[in-house]
Structure 1
Amino acid sequence: MTTILPSWPYRIDLHVHTRRYSPCAEAIDPENLPRIMADTGLSGLVLTEHDTIWPMHDVKVLNRRLPHGRIYTGVEVSTRNGHFIVIGITSLHGITPGMTVHALVALAQAREAAVIWAHPHFNYENTMEPLPLDRMAAGIHAVEVAGISADTHIHGMAHRMGWTVVAGSDAHCPSCIGRFVTHFSQMPENEKALAAAIRQGRCAT
């Protein structure tokens, strides 16, 4: 069932992969995203491919098929300290897999982008130096929750660190899109506006 918070009516899934640039999401054809958004009542979603960012022209083509709502571009960066979503950039200049989260945060700050710690409970083979919550770079802007029991601890740490709490589905299959969303009081008109809302905590889960 779709949940809508009265003061935060715009529902955006901040973490979606597709087969265009994420082989692990081979079931999600980006051409089907407008229909999926309509079926799930999503206001928007962010394309967060692994270490790859969609060309803005291609995102604009998808958006032409959306009478309402918006598809945004972002990226999930595989740093040596974990995976982080960056929203508000249009190129990966200076951003490479295996960089430190501290270097990523510095680049994002310079571009007024938002950095979200994705699925903080999971470490991967390419996470060479995982950091616990209390040692994470203070400059990140948000941490992702996904409705699991340990998220109570993340909420507490986010409050102490001054991070915004956001939600995204980390969708790798069509049925997962929109499973977890972040709510906004106003619909961000572009990636910079979405990044600013996250950086300033103008959203809810």
Structure 2
Amino acid sequence: MPGTIVDMHLHTTRGASDSMLDPDDLIAEARRIGLTGVNITEHDRMWEPWDLNPFRKKHEGIFVSNGMEVSTDMGHILAIGLKGYAPGIRRLEKLREIADEQGAFLIVAHPFRHFFDPVHFKREGKEPFRMTPEEAAKLPVFQLVDAIEVLNGCNTPRENYFALQVAKVLGKPGTGGSDAHSTQGIGYFTAVFEEELLSQEHMVDQLHKGRFYPARGLPEGKLENYWETAEPIPFYE
């Protein structure tokens, strides 16, 4: 049995204006489908201790991580282990610097969302995306993060599979998260940790040690390692 099964990407009404997910409803749904941990990643903010500590006490038995999704100049980054929001972290290079100082772990979120929609780049006057995973792996964002979100509940299968291939090229670990803003989809994608997570510090330690893998299938009772079982999907028609 895995140690802790965590949905690594979640937004609630307590910290995300675009979310309809009540925190208590999050925990109820997490328990229902078999999650044993949640990583709450509000947009550009973290829960304050006076909110977080009572919430954790109220919901003992499920691991609650206090993360953040940072909007940076190179895209959205899931940060785990930061002490809080800090000036300048909208620049990824600054976020990396602070993460290193504090021992935090950085994951690039949904890095290829819309990249296979030709209209996405046409709107910006750019040519359609045609990179190989080897070429995409050289993009600056991937040099500044510790891991890559290879399963995102709001992405297409192709977008997720391409992210997985880039992670494999780089030799960086992959995570999974629903990116849920309501009870729909919670736990659809997860990260499975080898050990039972006992604290925020323990989680960050296990992330840095790479003792986890991206997974899918929990709601159906068929949890599987996406890193090992992903079916090939053509990148371009």
TM-score by length of 2: 0.74
**Number of residue pairs matched?**
192
- Does 1:15 find its partner at 2:9? yes
What SS class does the counterpart of residue 43 from structure 2 fall into? coil
1:3-31 residue CA offsets vs partner (Å, 9 max, x unmatched):
xxx4x342101110001111111x21113
Structure 1 position 195, deviation (Å): 1.7
Residue 166 of structure 2 aligns with which residue? 157
Q: How many angstroms apart in 2 are the aligned matches of 1:168 and 1:103?
A: 25
- Does 1:138 find its partner at 2:143? yes
Q: How many angstroms apart in 2 are the aligned matches of 1:134 and 1:167?
A: 22
Q: How many angstroms apart in 1 are the aligned matches of 2:45 and 2:169?
A: 32
Structure 1 position 133, deviation (Å): 3.9
Q: How does 1:1-205 map to 2 (within 5 A)?
A: 6=1, 8-25=2-19, 27-96=20-89, 99-122=90-113, 132-135=136-139, 136-146=141-151, 148-205=157-214
1:153-195 residue CA offsets vs partner (Å, 9 max, x unmatched):
3223212323111101111111221111100111222222212
* Structure 1 residues 181 and 137: alpha-carbon distance in aligned structure 2, compared to 1, 3 A threshold: closer
Contact 2:112 2:163 (C-alpha < 8 Å) held by counterparts: no
What SS class does the counterpart of residue 106 from structure 2 fall into? strand
Q: How many angstroms apart in 2 are the aligned matches of 1:64 and 1:151?
A: 35
What SS class does the counterpart of residue 18 from structure 2 fall into? helix
Of stretches 66-75 and 139-148 in structure 1, the one that deviates more from structure 2 is: 139-148
* C-alpha RMSD of the superposition: 2.4
Of stretches 108-117 and 32-41 in structure 1, the one that deviates more from structure 2 is: 32-41
Q: Residue 13 of structure 2 aligns to which amino acid in structure 1? A: R
Residue segments in structure 1 that go unaligned for 5+ positions in a row: 1-5, 124-131
TM-score by length of 1: 0.84
Q: Residue 201 of structure 2 aligns to which amino acid in structure 1? A: K
Q: How many angstroms apart in 1 are the aligned matches of 2:100 and 2:180?
A: 27
Residue 228 of structure 2 aligns with which residue? none
Q: How many angstroms apart in 1 are the aligned matches of 2:43 and 2:137?
A: 22
Q: How many angstroms apart in 2 are the aligned matches of 1:145 and 1:137?
A: 13
**Structure number with larger C-alpha Rg:** 2
Contact 2:4 2:197 (C-alpha < 8 Å) held by counterparts: no
Structure 1 position 137, deviation (Å): 4.2
Structure 1 position 105, deviation (Å): 1.2
Contact 2:83 2:102 (C-alpha < 8 Å) held by counterparts: no
Structure 1 position 95, deviation (Å): 4.7
Contact 1:59 1:72 (C-alpha < 8 Å) held by counterparts: no
Residue 128 of structure 1 aligns with which residue? none
Q: How many angstroms apart in 2 are the aligned matches of 1:134 and 1:191?
A: 31
Identity %: 26
